[in-house]
Amino acid sequence: MRLKLACHATSGWIVIAILLPSVSCSQRNTTPPDQIRSDETSLEQVRSDETLPEQIRSDQTSPEQVRSEIRTIEGSEQDWPRFLGNRFDGSVEKTGFSIDWKQPPGVAWSIEVGDGYGLGTVSKGKFFQLDASRQFDVVTSRLVSRERLRCFDFMSGAEIWSKSNSYQYSDLLGYEDGPRTSPSVVGDRVITYGVTGMLKCRDVEDGTEIWSVDTNAKYGVVQNFFGVGSSPLVLDGKVIVMVGGSPPEDQEVAPMQLDRVTFNGSAVVAFDLDDGKEIWRTGDDLASYSSPRPIKIDGIDYVLVFARTGLLLVNPVEGKTEWQFEHRASIRDSVNAMVPIVSGDEVFISECYELGSALLQVSKTQPRVIWKDPPRDRRRQAMRSHWATPVLVDGFLYGCSGRNAPDSDFRCISWKTGEVEWVDSRRIRSSIARVGEHLVLLEERGLMQILRVNSKRLDLVAEWDLSEDDGARLGIKYPCWAAPVIVGKRILVRGTDRILCLEFALEKTKP
C-alpha cells in the first residue's frame, strides 16, 4: 500500500487529501510505445488510406473494423458537444459496441494545457479545448495571460487551429487564472465563456470570431470568488448564460464581500446566436458555478438555473423567471456548483456546505419538495455535492459527497427517498461519468476506476493510476477536477497541465 498525503493551504484553510492504495502493477497501463497513436496521423489520412497504419490499430482490428469505429465516433449520438454531454447528465446511454474494461487503455494522443480547470468538448470529429497561455510581452517585459481556444482533430490529436485574446484576471483565492468552463458547439459555431465573463462565438472551421460580449463590463458583474465558471447553453438559437450583474453602487464593494452585493435583474441572459445581441435578461440573483440546462414541463422547454441563492425556472421564449427555490448555505463563502439532475418532472439539487440535497417535483407554477436533507447535519444528509455532478441510473444516484478530501466519499443513494444505499471508504474527491452499465470515476489525484452500476455495493471492474508516467504515457497531475468525457471507445481525462485521450479495446465477438 502506498499513502500519499498532500496539504493545500488557501486563505487560511487546509485541505488534506488521502489517496487510496495504488493499483497493482498487473492492472496498470502497460501499453508499449508502438501502440501509441502518432499525432501526425490526421482523420483525413485515416479515411483515405486503404492500408490503415498499424499505429492506429492498437487493438489489432481489421481495416474495415477501424473504419467502422471511426464512423461510430463521428456519429452525432457519440458527440460530446457541451459540458456534461448531449444529455446534460454526464452519460452515454448506448454505444453500439462493448468495451473490454479488463484491458488497460492505450493512449490515442495527449496534449499539454495551460491554466484553467475545464475539459473540452467533441463535435463532428473535432475536439475544442479552452485554456490560458502566458506569453512574454516585449513592450512591457512582462508575461501576459491569453485566453486560448484550440481545435484538434479528435482522431489524431493534431492541432487544426488556435485563437487567443489577452485578458486580465487575478483569482481572489489564489487558484489558476484560466477558464473554468467547457465550450458549447452547435452546428458551425463554438461558444466559449471565459473566466472574466468574455462570451465569444467562433466559426468551428477556422476559429474566426463572429461576435463577442464582455458580460462582466456590460452587466456590472462584481467578481465572484473564482471568476466565471458556468458553461453556456445553446437552445433554439439563443445562447443562454448565467451572468449575475449588480448595480453601479455595488461596484466598489470590497473583494470577497458578496453578502453585500445586490442584483440588477441579469442572473440569466440570452443572446442571439447569429449576432450576439441581447434577447432578454431575467432573475434577481448572482451567478454560481453550475450551468444552465433544459427541462421539459408539459411538453414545453424551460431552463433550470442553479444560481447563487437557489434554483430558478426560466421561460426561454418569454425571458421570464417563473419561480425561484431558495437553496444556499448561510455561509458567505459557499457556492452552488453541480448541475441540476432531471428525471421527468423531478429535479435534484445539492450543495456541500450546510443544506445538502433536495428532490423537487416541478411545474410551471411552483416546486414541491419530495424530500430534503436536514440542514447542518452532515451525518444524516444523503448527498453533499460540491463541484461534481452525480449520475442517475435506474432510480439511484452515484457521486462524490463532501466539500474537501477528509470529509468526502463516493456513495449511492435512492432517488425517490434519499436513503443512502452504500458509502465507499475513500476520503478523496472525485468526478463521475457513465457509459451504459459502467461508471467512469476519476479521483482528483488521478486514479481512474471503472465501476459496474450496482445499487447494492461498490462494484469495481478495473482501475489505473493515471497520475504516474507509464512508458510513453505521461501522467496527469493534481488537480483532476473535470469530469471524464466519453466519445465512442475513447475517454478524455484532464490533469492540471495535460489531457489524455485514452482508447479502450472492444470485446471480441464470438464467431
pLDDT at 128: 98
pLDDT at 70: 52
- pLDDT tens figures, 216-245: 999 999 999 999 999 999 999 999 999 999
Beta bridge partners of 34: none
DSSP-derived secondary structure for 340-360: PEEETTEEEEE-SSSS-EEEE
Q: Domain containing 293: what range?
A: 5-503
pLDDT at 52: 32
- pLDDT tens figures, 111-141: 999 999 999 999 999 999 999 988 777 777 7
pLDDT at 511: 59
Pairing relation of β-strands 142-153 and 159-166?
A: antiparallel
Contact between 182 and 231 (Cβ < 8 Å): yes
- Phi–psi pair at 474, nearest 5 degrees: -85, 145
Q: Does the residue 508 lie in any domain? A: no
DSSP 8-state assignment for residue 310: E
What span, in angstroms and rounded, lies between the C-alpha atoms of 439 and 145?
36
Identity of the residue numbered 466? L
Of 318, 278, 286, 281, the C-alpha closest to 302 is 318
Total structural domains within the chain: 1
Residue in the block written with cell 472492444? 506
What span, in angstroms and rounded, lies between the C-alpha atoms of 245 and 26?
53
With the CA atoms of 482, 485, 490 and 495 taken in that order, what torsion angle do they form, in degrees rounded to the nearest 10?
Answer: -10
Residue in the block written with cell 453500439? 96
Q: Does the residue 339 lie in any domain? A: yes
CATH code for the domain in which residue 145 is found: 2.130.10.10
E strands, 402-484, in order? 409-414, 420-423, 430-435, 438-443, 447-452, 459-465
Going by C-beta distance under 8 Å and a sequence separation of 6 or more, which residues neighbour residue 124? 74, 76, 79, 204
pLDDT at 509: 72
Q: What percent of the chain has pLDDT over 90?
A: 77
Going residue by residue through the chain, which has 511 residues, state the pLDDT in tens, using 9 for 90 and above.
333 333 333 333 333 233 333 333 333 333 333 333 333 333 344 333 333 333 333 444 444 554 455 555 544 457 999 999 999 999 998 777 899 999 999 999 999 999 999 999 999 999 999 999 887 777 777 888 899 999 999 999 999 999 999 998 988 998 999 999 999 999 999 999 999 999 999 999 999 999 999 999 999 999 999 999 999 999 999 999 999 999 999 999 999 999 999 999 999 999 999 999 999 999 999 999 999 999 999 999 999 999 999 999 999 999 999 999 999 999 999 999 999 999 999 999 999 999 999 999 999 999 999 999 999 999 999 999 999 999 999 999 999 999 998 899 999 999 999 999 999 999 999 999 999 999 999 999 999 999 999 999 999 999 999 999 998 899 999 999 999 999 999 999 999 999 999 999 999 876 5
What span, in angstroms and rounded, lies between the C-alpha atoms of 403 and 400?
9
Q: Does the residue 439 lie in any domain? A: yes
pTM (2 d.p.): 0.86
pLDDT at 446: 98
Q: Does the residue 510 lie in any domain? A: no
Q: Does the residue 487 lie in any domain? A: yes
Q: Does the residue 23 lie in any domain? A: yes
Pairing relation of β-strands 91-92 and 430-435?
A: parallel
Distances (CA, A) of 382 to 206, 442, 485: 47, 21, 26
Cell matching residue 122:
467533441
- Counting Cβ atoms within 10 Å, is residue 18 exposed (0-12), middle (13-18) or buried (19+)? middle
> For the chain, what is the mean pLDDT?
87
Residue in the block written with cell 492504495? 21
Of 95, 65, 64, the C-alpha closest to 78 is 95
